[in-house]
A and B are shown apart, each in its own frame.
Chain A
Amino acid sequence: MDSEAIGRALSRLAREIAERSRNGGADLAIVGIRRGGVHLARRLRGELTRLLGQEPPLGTLDIALYRDDLSRGGAAPVVGPTDIQFKVEGRDILLVDDVLYTGRTIRAALDEIVDFGRPRRVWLAVLVDRGGRELPIAADFAGETVAVAPGDDVEVRLVEGGAAADEVVVKPRGTP
């Protein structure tokens, strides 16, 4: 996907989300999963603010402390801050990430969100659904669904993350 395709996908996602939001989006809050999901969540909030006429609150989630692979001899991963300043209880939460793959990140994110309160419901929006799920998790809104071999990586490069231009690339694991 190039910059234009990413922009179109986000606009379409925002329209779909706005259509399904109850009370004109009054109960909606957006949570981006660090790091790529946070940039996309900010962009979606911009689009949704225009469509709904009000700005949904935005939070960020770092799932490192909720991962299920620390005890497998893996990881001392970089843990970033989680910042949720709004009340989660009873809200419609739009969880945003860049790529949906095995579903383990989303499972961890769901665990973390419910520690802040019991949302009325949680939607999942991703820019790319690459298949390969290991858990029964599905996206409610996906910008693009692609079949990618298990040995390949899907990388979402955004200008907010330092890329020269927005793009989504598929590449063999381990290549720069």
Chain B
Amino acid sequence: MIGRHRHLLGLEGLSREEILQVLDLATSMKEVLARPLKKVPSLRGKLVVNLFFEASTRTRSSFEIASKVLSADAVNWTASASSVTKGETLVDTARNLEAMRPDVLVIRHAAGGAPQLVSEHVACAVVSAGDGAHEHPSQGLLDCFTLREKLGTLEGKTVAIVGDVSHSRVARSDLHAMPKLGAKVRLCGPPTMIPQGIERLGGCTVHHDLREAVEGADAVVMLRIQHERIGDPLIPGTREYSKLWGLNARKAAEWLTPGCVILHPGPINRGVELSPEVADGPRSVILDQVQNGVAVRMAILYLLAGGSPAEVSAAGARS
């Protein structure tokens, strides 16, 4: 249970307090990952099923490791090796898996809203691990966690999100979460990659010039060009994109403030969004994001596989 929510389908409906509940718990979970014995028994006997209808390395492993550190059993399910190839519907697949009594279903799907649909047909908790261009809530939370860790707070900070915002579920989750924590968000990219009217979501401004977007920013989130998701070309070519919206060592040195950190949800198109010197340089917190992702997903699973808030005070009585 995260605040009032049984599922984690997006960050749009989460309040500041609910987001902070996850981030604060993730801080304690990160301490567990630093121990010599990285395992605690809190979710022993719980079953987490990862349903991935799209390819994923980081997110799926991250949820799997998070489950195992908390002593839950994790089962990985991939669409290509399932009855989906025989024409089974999403709801039927979810219902069949639910009959095996999982406590949490983690779903990644190419269609926005797929986890929401599943959540309406199953009794267990559902976590979106990214759905279409809708949201990627655990990534949004780990971005916030990493920024809070590196900058101390998001209150009053400026975050530039650069790239293909229109196809990015990460950008959407960041955009829903970061302003709630007090950050100002600048969205930047080619006009074809910024949805019209997105500034109406609040807490953000739109820029098409990279220098204007990143100068004075406390953090820059570089998005991946999602070639697999883009049907018609939205940019003339990756060389031009890299020249105008990519970040290389020279631009980073000249345009970024000294404390500015660089995030990327991965996988990186090296030489397109980020040059290798920047991706591996001292400003980069990309690997911190990966590590923090496990801690944040531990917090999410712990909260959703736990109990109801009404019972917290009784169960929380010390003995």
Contacts and interface: CB of A to CB of B under 8 A. Distances in A.
B39 A105 contact: no
Nearest to B44: A71
B318 interface: yes
A149 interface: no
A69 B317 CA distance: 11
Contact of A75 (B35, B41, B45, B315): B315
Interface in B38-80: 39-46, 70
A81 B36 CA distance: 15
B125 to A, nearest CB: 12
Contacts of B44: 71
B302 A76 contact: yes
Residue from A73, A79, A116 whose CB has the most chain B CB atoms within 10 Å: A79
B27 A77 contact: no
A102 B40 CA distance: 22
Nearest to A99: B318
A102 B44 CA distance: 22
Given A67-B42, A70-B43, A115-B35, A77 B28 contact: no
Contacts of B201: none
Which of A77, A82, A83 has most chain B Cβ within 10 Å? Answer: A77
Provide the main secondary structure of the chain B interface.
loop
Interface in A48-105: 62, 64-67, 69-77, 79-83, 99, 101-105
A75 to B, nearest CB: 4
B318 A66 contact: no
B37 A65 contact: no
Given A69-B315, A74-B316, A75-B312, A111 B41 contact: yes
B311 A74 contact: yes
Contacts of A72: 307, 315
Interface in B282-319: 302-303, 306-309, 311-312, 314-316, 318-319
B191 to A, nearest CB: 44
B46 A77 contact: no
B318 A65 contact: no
B319 A77 contact: no
B312 A77 contact: yes
Contacts of A67: 42
B124 interface: no
Given A116-B35, A116-B37, A73 B307 contact: yes
A75 B37 contact: no
Contact of A105 (B36, B306, B307, B318): B318
B311 to A, nearest CB: 5
Contact of A65 (B36, B42, B45, B307): B42
Contacts of B123: none
Most buried by B among A73, A74, A83: A74
Interface string B102-127: 00000000000000000000000000
Interface of B: 1, 25, 27-29, 31-32, 35-37, 39-46, 70, 302-303, 306-309, 311-312, 314-316, 318-319
CB-CB nearest 8 A-B residue pairs = A74-B315, A102-B319, A65-B40, A75-B315, A79-B28, A76-B306, A65-B42, A101-B319
22 contacts: A62-B28, A64-B28, A65-B28, A65-B42, A65-B70, A72-B307, A74-B312, A74-B315, A75-B306, A75-B316, A76-B309, A79-B25, A79-B28, A79-B29, A80-B28, A81-B31, A83-B31, A99-B318, A112-B40, A115-B35, A115-B37, A116-B35
Given A69-B315, A79-B302, A115-B35, 12 more contacts: A65-B42, A70-B42, A70-B315, A71-B45, A74-B315, A77-B315, A80-B28, A82-B32, A105-B318, A116-B36, A117-B36, A134-B319
